Chains A and B, each alone.
Chain A
Amino acid sequence: MPRNRTGASAGRRPHPAPSIRSPLRRRFRRGAIQPRIRVMGAILGTVLLLFAARLVQIQGFNADDYAEAAASLRLTTIEIPTVRGDITDMAGRPFAMSVEVRTVFLDPAEVRDDQREEIVQELSRRFDLPPEEIVAKLNARVDGRPSRYEVVQRGVPIEEWKEIRELGFHGVSAERDYKRVYPEETGAANLVGFVGLDGHGLEGLEAVLDSTLAGEAGQQQVEVGSDGTQIPMAGGLIREPVPGRTVRLTLDLDLQWYAQQALNRRVEELDAEAGSVVVMTRDGQIRAMANYPTYDPNNFSAVSAEQRRNGAVADAFEPGSTAKVITVAAALEEGLVTPDTVFTVPSSIRRYDQVFRDANPHPTQRLTVNGIMATSSNVGAIQIGEKVGAEKMYEYLRRFGVGQPTGLDLPGENTGILTAPEHWSGTDLPSVSFGHSVSVNAVQLASVYATIANDGVRVAPTLIAGMEDADGEFEAAPDPESERVISADTAADLRLMLEAVTEETGTAPQARVEGYRVGGKTGTANRINPETGKYQGGGYVSSFVGFAPADDPELVVSVVLHSPKGEYYGGEAATPVFTDVMSFALKTARIPPTQTERPPLRLME
């Protein structure tokens, strides 16, 4: 730089010769002051005007573009959780309900050092968590920066959160959430199912009815800071949350619980593999649907798929003797026999390559149709079935709902097997006549007896009474389909026959309920071994289906036990559960005791 060089030379030569003047010694002409001040003012004014113009451009003409780009960075949509509808019994008592809870979380970046120790202690004590876990959450880092969101505990009751909040910890916050609660021991776990962590149904009715129960989460548009903090006063509600609708079932909570208890006791007593109890009104409304094994839906993660099965619809079995009513109903309805028609019934009968036997050997008897039913004679049933013929047999089975979907639309339903008669072999008609070579589930079986109880009109089974809005408005479920299967007279005849079963001479005298006339039928069928696909080693399916009061039936109870050890005849294995549940059901439903006597029936010639 010239300044340095000439400056040095000026130092060395304090008195330079005028002829060689350094540039710094040169004289200059001074500019006038006032114009120069005006120039400065002009520069200042120009620059500020340019800036103002630029600002008009940014904040006036292009403002929307910038604002939009900025907003797109900040705007996010958050969901406003909505409350899931309850699942209740017919009286509104809950099988599943949602309670508002808090999810407690840490914002480690906000936690003050002097409160750290206290926070770790308090949270670990309160939620029973190891202190190290909370320390780890406090130290959690995301992309090298302290994390802003570490969930400590979900499903914290509001009251408990209030206690924590009062301690005044910085960086310990909570957000609203809903927790699904299943009141303990309702005994409806296999039917009701459960929701997953995301609050959506995973199993049972919770899954099937999810769209009704879930409602619609609301949406709120918020603007967030770079760290995700919600900016106050910005954004707005896009959609109000729509609360889910409560589903009212036809179930009775007490009865359901009682049925479950009775089933559990009996299954454990007999060391059975599984079992189910279905209680149904004569018009198809299911009052209870209990299953064994069951589980606690509040702790569903520890449960095997086997435990979660809703066996009442998911397990199909050969109904055995309980299906003889269909054979007899077909014969009566078609006018082929009367209740008093007499058959010669040997102990066994041969059809093609197969010998069909009655359960207990007996000398050849002359039995009326009543008698055949009361003693549950296979040979007699085969003879009646052969009068009916394959085509009619199939038709009646179908109309009674065998092999047809129950219409309950429950997950895993097994509609059973009913093959068309053109595929039947010679031994199939005899088999079908006494409830083999077809399979049903417990609800289908109960529905057959409900049809008889309902004077021959079959009403499709229902489970859902209706939906209830958040504001309490109830909308009943549409009426189920109904169809007359047999005449009222035939139904009445059948009821008398079935009542005879529970008398001293019948196969299930234990099925009587004090003060009521009861009709029903035992069933014992060979069970197909699920491992081999053959009857060998498969055990038995013991069942009892019945109704009461027999003169004007209100309720049907079906009990199915899979593979009970020891007592495998329906009469002995399943009947006690029937009696137990039926007597409780009658009392719960406040059905008055029977005032009539059964007219006498002729069982034998």
Chain B
Amino acid sequence: MAATTPVSSATGGRGAGARRRTRNAKTDGAVLSRVKEFTRLLDRPLTSYYLLVGSSVLLIVLGLVMVLSSSMVDSYTETGSAFSLFLKQAVAALIGIPLMLLASRLPPRTLRLLGGPLLLVSIVLLVITTFRGVEYYGATRWLNIGGITVQASEPAKLAFALWGANLLARKEELRELTEWRHLLVPLLPVCGILVLLVLMGSDLGTSFVLMAVLVALLWIIGAPGRLFFGVVGLVGLLVAIMIAVEPYRLKRLTAFLNPEADPFNSGYQLLHGLYALGTGGLLGVGIGASREKWGHLPHPESDFIFAIIGEEFGLLGTLLVIGLFGVLGYSGLRVAARTTDPFVRLSAVAITTWICVQAMVNIGTVIGVLPVTGIPLPFVSAGGSSLIPTMLGMGVLLALARNEPAARSALSARGPTYPQRALSWLGLGNSAGRTAPGADRAPKTRPTQVQARRNRRR
């Protein structure tokens, strides 16, 4: 690491200097000093922002590559073109990119307005899906709108995260969060409705993610610990009810424990996922060279794309993906830790939880530690309904990262960018409606060119 990296930052070089002195007194190991250098590198105003951009862009690119690789066989057999599914995914990504960029430039004030309408639309779509949905593979999760199949439960996760964060933040600002009812109403009932609607489509994975978002929101707002025992009990009860209604679910729920027991039915997909991972070994069989995608592993491009990554890129590839989600989660939590704005904190945690839990459920399924639920790997799995809301959510998270106090001052030191100018002209910009514009800047003086250049380097 570059030992000459200037350390002085807007967050206060004095504190860092003090830490360095005390640590130097305790240790003399070179390793520790390396670690220190590293933490110092992380300790920069735009770290969260760039880590989020980096990890999500890498995941999206990897996703596009892997969707092409894993879907080409099935696409060719079904449509005669190896690219048909990939092109759909590419179109979804092309829609998602501007949405992500736009969202990343929106101020929190605007983002707070998004949750409610989005939630309403999601609920309406979910209700329609329940009655009018298209059934694939025994689950009614898809809605056919003008030839495009949409999975309404995907945007619902983003909607719930934003809406829930906004709700609790408002209550926090109104200092209402002293009683249980303000904490739980209407958050809990709405979540219940969503979970119920999602479960109508037999989507256990998504309902689990929704509940995880709920738990994360409550956790971060500071709800007492015993509440979480209650939630765990509630989830257990729900699962028990689900199983009581359709007993086959228990078998599906426990099939993952021993896929070899029923290698042709319940254990089939899982077993072939493990085969793919094992075939990949340490370094993989090479990009595009997966064998399991040749009709052995069902849906290699969606729920089990992680297995194909493991087959083509080996342990190296799977650990990289795990690492990328780890970085993403770390950065999301870092945003939450560094802000004072309750909405920013809540929504950052909610979105991070959503993406990370979904990734964990998906990966956990593939590696055989969780039951098969049928949930896409965020950014990577094929499916526009999943990719676009995820990218939008990432855009929101980026906007929040830019809103970290230190980041905000670092960014404003660069001066407004063209999109910011366009947004402010539309009345949506960061400083548009602010009573004290430029509160975080040096109030009187514009940054000199030297300062601006230095700041840009960060």
Contacts and interface: CB of A to CB of B under 8 A. Distances in A.
Contacts of A29: 224
> Which of A45, A63, A65 has the largest count of B CB atoms less than 10 A from its CB?
A63
A30 interface: yes
Given A28-B223, A227-B77, 11 more contacts: A7-B181, A27-B178, A28-B183, A40-B353, A52-B322, A55-B277, A65-B278, A66-B277, A70-B279, A233-B289, A234-B291
B422 to A, nearest CB: 34
A555 B420 CA distance: 109
Given A28-B183, A37-B220, A56 B315 contact: yes
Contact of A231 (B189, B280, B294, B367): B294
Nearest to A44: B329
Interface string A224-258: 11110101011000000000000000000000000
A229 B278 contact: no
A60 B310 CA distance: 11
B443 interface: no
Contact of B279 (A44, A56, A71, A224): A71
A67 B295 CA distance: 16
B225 interface: yes
A55 B292 CA distance: 18
A479 B279 CA distance: 58
B404 to A, nearest CB: 14
Interface in A54-110: 54-56, 58-60, 62-67, 69-71, 73-74, 109-110
A97 B19 CA distance: 91
B276 A70 contact: yes
Interface residues of B, number: 60
A31 interface: yes
A31 B224 contact: yes
B7 to A, nearest CB: 23
Nearest to B296: A226
B314 interface: yes
A10 B280 contact: no
A60 B185 contact: no
B294 A229 contact: yes
Nearest to A25: B179
Interface of B: 73, 77, 80, 177-181, 183-185, 188-189, 216, 219-225, 272, 274-282, 289, 291-292, 294-296, 310, 314-315, 318-319, 322, 325-326, 329-330, 333, 336-337, 345, 349, 353, 356, 360, 363-364, 367-369
B322 A55 contact: yes
A346 B341 CA distance: 144
Given A31-B223, A60-B315, A48 B180 contact: no
B330 A55 contact: no
Interface string A570-590: 000000000000000000000
A448 to B, nearest CB: 68
Contact of B337 (A34, A51, A170): A34
Contact residues on A (Cβ < 8 Å of other chain), bracket: 35 or more
Contacts, number: 170
A58 B274 contact: yes
Contacts of B360: 47-48, 51
A26 interface: yes
B310 A55 contact: yes
A213 B272 CA distance: 44
A71 B280 CA distance: 12
A227 B278 contact: no
Give the secondary structure class of A's interface.
helix
A482 B302 CA distance: 80
A546 B315 CA distance: 85
B42 to A, nearest CB: 13
A490 B302 CA distance: 95
A66 to B, nearest CB: 2
Nearest to A226: B295
Nearest to A4: B189
Contacts of A27: 178-179
A66 B279 contact: yes
Contacts of B278: 58-59, 62-67, 69-70
Of B221, B225, B279, B310, most buried by chain A (CB within 10 Å of CB) is B279
A58 B272 CA distance: 12
Nearest to A30: B222
Contact of B274 (A48, A66, A223, A233): A66
B223 A3 contact: no
Contacts of B179: 24-28
B345 to A, nearest CB: 7
A183 interface: no
Nearest to B317: A59
A33 interface: yes
Given A33-B345, A51-B322, A70 B291 contact: yes
Contact of A24 (B180, B296, B314, B330): B180
Contacts of B80: 112, 170
Contacts of B353: 40
B326 A44 contact: yes
A32 interface: yes
A26 B227 CA distance: 13
B330 to A, nearest CB: 7
A59 B222 contact: no
A145 to B, nearest CB: 11
A234 B291 CA distance: 8
A26 B356 CA distance: 33
B325 A48 contact: yes
A41 interface: yes
A30 B224 CA distance: 6
A48 B336 CA distance: 20
Contact of B282 (A37, A48, A63, A170): A63
Contact of A59 (B277, B291, B295, B330): B277
Given A40-B216, A55-B310, A69 B275 contact: yes
Given A37-B220, A51-B367, A66-B279, A44 B189 contact: no
Nearest to B319: A52
A223 B294 CA distance: 10
B333 A44 contact: yes
Contacts of A45: 326
A156 B196 CA distance: 62
Given A58-B367, A60-B282, A66 B224 contact: no
